[in-house]
A and B are shown apart, each in its own frame.
Chain A
Amino acid sequence: MRRRTALLTSVLLFVCWSPALGREPDDDRRIDTPPPPVPDVGPAPYIAPPPEIYYVTDTYVADVVTANGPLTTYSTTTVHESTGSYARVLETVGTGVPSVYDGRAFNGRRALADGRLVAGTYYENYVRTDAGFEAVSIVFFQDDAELARLEAARPSNVPGPQATPARTAGPVASPCCAATRPVAPVRPAPTAAPARPIRPGISLLPAGASLAGLEVLRGRQVALWPRAFVDDREVAVSSWTVIRGEAGDALTLTGAGGVPFRTAWRRLAPPDSAFELVFRIEVDTPETGPRAALVAITVVVRSPALVE
């Protein structure tokens, strides 16, 4: 009887057998499971820019004033690179001609030695957002020149307007009286030193390394310090503004130079993408004058997760 019971028990146990731990984690790794199908989303839809707006391939760097003998040239340096922004021409103005955009360009509009405003072109910069093309700033590309003369050469010996040659033209004769008045030797007009390019940056510490990209954990608060450099020397930032990008839980999108941009991201970016934040950093020091520059930082939000 006991043998029969034992036999029946064994048979039942054999039939009802199942592993206590059917899933072996190491086995999972050995299984060559095909990767999950990636939905074919296709290329991003192309949004044509409105008329007069074109894609920027040469980016503003700095205003340059150069003195070559009696000729002082006001020009703008650019760098051939694309930041993904767009622009359109607002207005082309001549020497001394006021514009409704005066005072609205982030780099300002200089004046000649006689006080007249330099000639040039106003451009409005755009960025493409989900809602379309959004204007972010106005920049003035100066293009002018002036010829200096000795004050003593003037009949009245009173400082007055100096002759302004045509834009992009070389040295020209005085517009009047050149034949009847003796022309004294010319000397360079006092001009401002050429503006050096501002290199903006973002760092996690007030004196930390500038970062082009950043990984943060979801929900973790971070402080981003907008900074600016001229010739690898840091200059004080007067103010900053977040003009584009996913700012997370930030309480404010603008601040003074000594205040960082504090935020935290509570959601992740879509797969294989990242948030991009664009800051406009303004400096206003005796060395630089009122200037502004744009800087972008890529933010990848991550979250601790289990790995199979």
Chain B
Amino acid sequence: MSWIRDDAGAAMVTTLVLAPLLLVVLAGVLQLGALRVAAARVRAAADLATLVAVNDQDDAELARSGTLRLAADAGDVAREYFARELELSAPLLERSATEIAAGADVAAYASAPAIDTRTGARYDRPTLRLVAEVPVRTPVFGALILRPVTVLHVVALSSPR
């Protein structure tokens, strides 16, 4: 048992102890990075969807009063574009992009001022608000006895300013 007392033995034991630990930490960091990328993509998808919807205005109201007002289908436009943008991140998603977009809470406040019934926020301009829960696969977290699916909560607001 002398080999265990020399330096070579100590290095082997240290490696055996720390290597799995380092691998676990590395995997967790990679998964965390992937989750952050997914969160950024989801947020960008929501932001873009609301911007596109706000860019669609009610032309009849504009001719009548000269003021901008969201189109009647602004909410549908936002939901459609949200699904389209989420499609680009489909491999990361636990559910289909269409299902996620369909479950999103989209509220179009066509004229201002308005009070958001969900958040209580006051909007001084026509505003479109999108709130969604987006389940993202996190297999490494699952292997570490954590959640295999992480739900991202995203909120996007847009208005003409």
Contacts and interface: CB of A to CB of B under 8 A. Distances in A.
A205 B21 contact: no
A24 B119 CA distance: 13
Interface in A1-16: 1, 4-5, 8-9, 12-13, 16
Interface stretch (A71-79, A211-219, A242-250, A284-292): A211-219
A208 B127 CA distance: 26
Contacts of B125: 302
B65 A209 contact: yes
A248 B150 CA distance: 49
B154 A25 contact: yes
Interface residues of A, number: 34
Interface in B126-157: 127, 150, 152-157
Interface string A285-308: 000000000000000001111111
A88 to B, nearest CB: 34
B67 A215 contact: yes
Contact of A21 (B20, B54, B119, B152): B152
Contact of A5 (B20, B156, B160): B20
Nearest to B120: A29
Interface size bucket, B side?
Answer: 35 or more
A306 B57 contact: no
Interface stretch (B3-11, B32-40, B83-91, B93-101): B32-40
Contact of A307 (B20, B28, B32, B159): B159
A20 B150 contact: yes
Contacts of A26: 119, 155
Interface string B17-36: 10011001100100010011
A204 interface: yes
Contacts of A29: 119, 121
A203 interface: yes
A268 to B, nearest CB: 9
A156 interface: no
Nearest to A222: B62
Interface of A: 1, 4-5, 8-9, 12-13, 16, 18, 20-21, 24-26, 29, 203-205, 208-209, 211-217, 302-308
Interface of B: 17, 20-21, 24-25, 28, 32, 35-36, 39, 47, 50-51, 54-55, 57, 62-68, 119, 121, 123, 125, 127, 150, 152-161
Closest 6 CB pairs of A and B: A307-B157, A25-B155, A302-B160, A211-B66, A204-B63, A304-B54
